[in-house]
A and B are shown apart, each in its own frame.
Chain A
Amino acid sequence: MAARRSGRLGKWLVSGPPLLYLLVFFAVPTLIMALASFRTPGEFGGLAPLVDEVGALDLNVDSYARLIAEPVYAQVFLKSVWYALVTTLACLALAYPLAALIARSTKKYRNLLLLLVILPFWSNFLIRIYAWMIILGPQAALARSVNGILATFGMEPVSLLFSSFAVLVCLVYVHLPFMVLPLYANLEKHDQALLDAAQDLGASAWQRFWRITFPLSLPGVYAGAALVFIPALGMFAIPDILGGPDDSLIGNVIKQQFLEARDWPFGSVLSIVLTVAALLLAGLAAWVGRGNLGTPSSARDARA
């Protein structure tokens, strides 16, 4: 009895402090934000009083109605989804050869090659954005040669910086490691015998990739897609620094609602919709990936 009581005490002593901290500084703030989405913005920012002079409770769905009534916000959401989707596909295309090479290399080089993919992720996020400001800048070699070529065809010079191109390149750049890691983890487990068998049966390199390797790697692809898509969807710093006026994404609108318009309820609505969308997509990726875990049976399906 005493042992069990001390076990329970120990459990609370160990799990209590982190639980309490995260309740206070994560769960409660998130709930407050959820509640704030049903309130009216205050005259000078913040929220209007919860109970006004006549004693009426300030709870309404005005901010949600606004999200539906003003199509500009739905457009920003669609644009964010589009940018995140293009980013995810570009990351997949770039990550596949990297992951395949690492998975195929000998143990001696494998850890080094993997480390080289992860290291840039640990350099400061703003530095990685700044690097693209330099590369795409109007005086840099890239912009000068592009505009030189355009000039020979008699076309107007273009700006690489402050464009959707700059935003997309940088989105791909900062998220690439998130796609390589799950893909590598998957590809590393593939059975070489399957590919050898296919080759013996006369399958070309392309057939072997498309009908064996790729279907088997789908769980890794879904995991990587979720890891890239979710942060890309909520990104505000990259469009803020590298984008033009038309490149505002949902993260930028949220930032603007909180820091400039000071409309907390509407900012909260946008944040909640963003989070729900992100979590739904992550759940979807997990659910789709579940049916295809790279088991021998799916390998058989792939060959069928």
Chain B
Amino acid sequence: MRKRSLGLWLAAAAGYAFLYLPLVIVVVYSFNDSRLNAEWVGFTLDWYYKLLHNEEMLAAAGNSLLIALVASLVSTALGTMAGVAMHRYRLRLLPVLVLTPIAIPEILLGVALLIFFVLLNITLGLVSVALAHIAFCVGFVAIVVRSRLAGMDDSLTEAARDCGATPAAAFRYVTLPLIMPGVIAGALMAFTLSIDDFVITFFTAGAGTVTLPLQIYSMIKIAVTPEVNAVSTLLMLLTLALIIIASRLAPSLLGTQEEKP
């Protein structure tokens, strides 16, 4: 038994190394006092300093935050509704519309929305990107909220109704507080998906609007510079924080189901 486990351990350790080494290298070289991402020269915070004075990068980060804020708020409202509706009623069309955008190749939604916006004369920019992000975030929020509802006791809402609460009051004072962790987790997830999205943003942003991923894309298309490492490290920290908070609220989010007592 032990002997067999050793080989497994080694293979799995190699797998984890494969997953983490590239990210560690990005972080380590963000503190490296050399323009080349090739070997360690010495410690510096210059790249972070340069980053804070890079107007383009700051503008891109501002756009990304604004879009992510709007997209996560709207998609959380719509996604919570969709999750509740899918849990409570037998629906045909809504589950298909909620789940298909997640299942198809991302590029399809990107080009379909590009055609749609241009034909409707909607200027490509912050608004079109936010509308596109909402479209793919709704499904993720709906899934998280529905799984929260599935693990919940429906009789609580029914009891509130029996005691004379209107459907709206029962939802507001009983259901919503109970599913709140799922709603917040969904919102954080939507925020992360929006701030990280590249493919759909690429097609719907137009020429004038730059988000953080688009800025990173244009920088690495030209050259590898440690400034990209620095912005990557900051973005990774932000995502990590959001996801850890979200997974505390909804353990199913990370596939790590909470053990039932």
Point out residues on A near B: beta carbons under 8 Å: 6, 10-11, 14-15, 17-19, 21-23, 25-30, 32-33, 36, 46-47, 94-95, 97-98, 100-102, 104, 107, 110-111, 114-120, 122-135, 137, 139-141, 173, 176-177, 181, 184-185, 205, 230-231, 233-234, 236-237, 241, 251, 254-255, 258-259, 264, 267-268, 271, 274-275, 278-279, 282
Contact of A278 with B105 at beta-carbon distance under 8 Å, contacts A22-B98, A32-B116, A120-B23 already known: yes
CA of A184 to CA of B257 in the docked complex: distance in angstroms? 13
Contact of A18 with B232 at beta-carbon distance under 8 Å, contacts A107-B259, A114-B255 already known: no
Q: Which residues of B contact A267 (CB under 8 A)?
A: 111
Further pairs besides A15-B86, A134-B26, A141-B38: 17, Cβ < 8 Å: A15-B82, A15-B89, A15-B94, A25-B135, A26-B101, A29-B115, A32-B112, A32-B116, A98-B11, A107-B259, A118-B254, A124-B232, A130-B224, A132-B22, A134-B29, A205-B4, A282-B103
Contact A124 B196, beta carbon cutoff 8 Å:
yes
For chain B, residues 204 to 260, give those with C-beta under 8 angstroms from any C-beta of chain A: 213, 216-217, 220-221, 224, 228-229, 232, 235-236, 239-240, 243, 247, 254-256, 259
Contact A97 B11, beta carbon cutoff 8 Å:
yes
> Which one, A116, A117, A258, contacts B111 given CB within 8 A?
A258
Kindly count the residue-residue contacts between A and B in the assembled complex, taking CB atoms under 8 Å apart: 248
> Which one, A10, A18, A115, A173, contacts B167 given CB within 8 A?
A10
Which residue of chain B has its CB nearest to the CB of A35?
A: B115
CA of A124 to CA of B21 in the docked complex: distance in angstroms? 15
Segment with Cβ contacts to A, from B12-20, B51-59, B148-156, B179-187: B12-20
Q: How far is the CB of B32 from chain A (nearest CB, A)?
A: 11
Q: How far is the CB of A129 from chain B (nearest CB, A)?
A: 8
Q: How far is the CB of B5 from chain A (nearest CB, A)?
A: 8
Contact B15 A127, beta carbon cutoff 8 Å:
no
* Interface SS of A by simple majority: helix
Contact B18 A141, beta carbon cutoff 8 Å:
no
Chain A CB within 8 A of B81 CB: yes
Contact A118 B85, beta carbon cutoff 8 Å:
no
Q: Which residues of A contact B259 (CB under 8 A)?
A: 107
Q: Which residues of A contact B202 (CB under 8 A)?
A: 255
Q: Which residues of B contact A137 (CB under 8 A)?
A: 37-38, 224
> Which one, A19, A25, A95, A254, contacts B15 given CB within 8 A?
A95
What are 25 pairs between A and B in contact, CB < 8 Å? Answer: A15-B85, A25-B116, A26-B109, A28-B116, A29-B109, A29-B112, A30-B108, A32-B116, A33-B111, A36-B115, A94-B15, A115-B247, A118-B255, A125-B213, A126-B216, A126-B217, A128-B22, A130-B26, A130-B220, A131-B26, A133-B224, A177-B19, A230-B103, A255-B202, A274-B108
Contact B142 A237, beta carbon cutoff 8 Å:
no
Chain A CB within 8 A of B61 CB: no
Contact B29 A176, beta carbon cutoff 8 Å:
no
> Which one, B15, B88, B94, B105, contacts A18 given CB within 8 A?
B94
Contact of A128 with B224 at beta-carbon distance under 8 Å, contacts A11-B85, A97-B12 already known: no
